[in-house]
Structure 1
Amino acid sequence: MNNRVGIDAGGSLIKIAYEENGILHYRKQPISEMDEALGWLKLISSNKSIFLTGGRAGKIKAKLFPESEIVDEFSSACEGANYLMRKEGLPAAENSLLINIGTGTSWFKIEGEEYNRVLGSGIGGGTFMGMGRLLADSSDFANLVHMSASGQRGNVDLLVKDLYHPEEPPIPGDLTASNFAKTEAINASSRADKMASFMNLIAETITLLTVQTAALHGIKNVIFIGSTLAGNKPLQDSLAYYCKMSGLEPIFLQNGEFSGAIGAMLR
């Protein structure tokens, strides 16, 4: 793969995977810095074949790399995830559900070498960033993740234990009865509290869709990839908690946000 470069140009980020001296390297930048990233790539890729995937692949091909090849983004994500599974010493993703949480979220059923997209949702990292601007007046991903980790969503969400107080609830009390339902307390809650609540809403929504899709296809193993999970321990922890509670076995792939770029390069 030394003579190949994979580029995944999505809605929020541009991700690049390339190999040098047997070592796989990764680079990502906001889509607003695409010209800078691709200018750098043009300098190092004079003898390399370029493989593009993602929604902006056509624009990049026309503008900078006319000899490049465009690869289907869904198969690229699945191929790249299988590569990372093998690299981490995990069994191949056979009879599994692959969930790619990028700007939006896609679900893929993997059976051996067969990949089928079975569901999609507009809930994802783009939603998190947009609501971060509305709720916390910030568009910095790392800052919003930090806020969500430090906030108390119980100051915003109506929890099961709130409904049953002072009685003991029949299910875990920290589960959500209604998101953002403490209407009288919301104005007094902090930005961190609001972001903690919204991060949990994303996790709950994605988990519910995952549980229903997995049940429909008789699957227990679920694999999570995507840029929204990178450096986002609060989301990973919540997804793992809710999936295990629902009888699913979640796996979070290291460098999973580069699955599309890796898959394009492998193709």
Structure 2
Amino acid sequence: MLRNTAGIDAGGSLIKMVYQENGRMHFKKFPINEQDSAISWLKMSVPSLKVSLTGGKASVIQKKYFPESQIIPEFQATCEGTRFLLEAENKTIEDNYLIVNIGTGTSWHVVKGDKAERILGSGIGGGTFTGLGSLLTKVRGYHQLTCLAEEGNKGHIDMLVKDIYESAEGPINEELTAANFAKGNRLKHSDADRLASLSNMIAETIVLLTSQAATIHQVKSAVIIGSATVGNNPLRQALKSYMNMVGVTLVFLEKGEYCGAIGAHISV
């Protein structure tokens, strides 16, 4: 009898699982602080597991739950999972491209043919949005924060190019940000405005770093993966808009948040 196989990506915020049963791939995620419940659910749902692990907390999960499992290096798993999903989801992309993994923080990888290399990392990511967003608004929960951000107006908080040039014609798009949060000392702004500004700042930072990496490594496309864009329409739309401005073609993967877990899974 064939054993069931699973890949687990234990990161800073989430534990993501990919398991194969009867030839079909299944996906599941839990907050990392619910790892006991997550592993219990997995073992009960899919007995006789053969497991591979990846992510920052992989060694903790291995020691506590799966001592016979193997650990796949995180960056290797991420890139292998991305390659797998590009084919599985029938996405067309050039042979050379960037992978931008927006999770708790953000990592950049350059893929050239069969070779992949991590080239950059930033502490700006989904953890910034949930953590700083909660400090700015007292709102808790990723879903609540993203929904509220969609209702806000970044222009109530950010100083835009048009605010500086006023009636004169500016040298660049007037809706671009001249200074993030520069209107924060004004009284008339809402929690939604603050979150819209925060989401925009994260998007701008990621796009600027992506644009520089694309220029240095002479690529024109970027695959966006990771959990931070899931259900976060303001961030996704800002990334699309700004990437288009800098001439980088974006590809979003439907199951992109599971790239690490898939990479671990297919390495079993």
**Normalising by structure 1, what TM-score?**
0.96
> Does the aligned pair in 1 maintain the 2:5–2:21 contact within 8 Å?
no
Structure 2 portions without partners, runs of 5+? none
Query: Within 5 Å, which residues of 2 pair with 1:25-40?
Result: 25-40=26-41
Partner of 1:13: 14
The superposition leaves residues 64-100 of structure 1 with CA deviations (integer Å, 9 ceiling, x where unpaired) of 1111111111010111111110011124662100000
User: 1:250 — aligned with what?
Assistant: 250
Show the 5 A alignment for 1:139-154.
139-154=140-155
1:176 matches 2:177: yes
Q: Secondary structure of 1:229's partner?
A: coil
Of stretches 157-166 and 85-94 in structure 1, the one that deviates more from structure 2 is: 85-94
CA distance in 2, matches of 1:56, 1:81: 20
**Cross-structure match for 2:79:** 78
Q: Deviations over 1:90-140 (max 9, x none)?
A: 246621000000011000011122110000011111111111111111221
Once residues 236 and 129 of structure 1 are traced to their aligned partners in structure 2, the CA distance between those partners, rounded to angstroms, is 16
1:184 is paired with a residue whose SS is coil
Instruction: After superposition, give the CA deviation of every residue in 1:138-179 in whole Å (9 maximum; x if it has no partner).
Output: 221011111111101111000011111122323211100100
Matches within 5 A, 1:120-199: 120-185=121-186, 187-199=187-199
User: How far apart are the structure 2 equivalents of 1:92 and 1:189?
Assistant: 41
Contact residue 2 and residue 18 of structure 1 kept, 8 A: no
1:213 match: 213
In the aligned structure 2, how far is the partner of 1:69 from the partner of 1:226? 22
Task: Indicate yes or no: 2:119 matched with 1:118.
Answer: yes
- Report the number of matched residues: 266
Aligned to 1:226: 226
Equivalences for residues 87-102 of structure 1 within 5 A = 87-91=88-92, 94-102=95-103
Aligned AA for 2:74?
A: E
* Partner Cα separation in structure 1 for residue 189 and residue 262 of structure 2: 42
Deviation at 1:256, TM superposition (A): 0.2
What letter matches 1:216 in structure 2?
I
User: What secondary structure does 1:181 align onto?
Assistant: coil
Residue deviations 1:195-240 (CA, integer Å, cap 9, x gap): 0000000000000000001100001011100010111111111011
The 8 Å contact of residues 156 and 182 in structure 1, kept in 2 or not, is answered as yes
| Matched position secondary structure for 2:143 | helix
Identity of aligned residues (%): 48
For structure 1, the residue ranges without an aligned partner over 5 or more in a row are: none
In 1, distance between residues paired with 2:221 and 2:157?
32
2:88 & 2:140 partners in 1: Cα distance? Answer: 34
CA spacing shift, 1:163–1:205, aligned 2, 3 Å: same
Tell me the amino acid that sits aligned with residue 245 of structure 1: M
Q: Note the C-alpha offset of 1:2.
A: 6.8
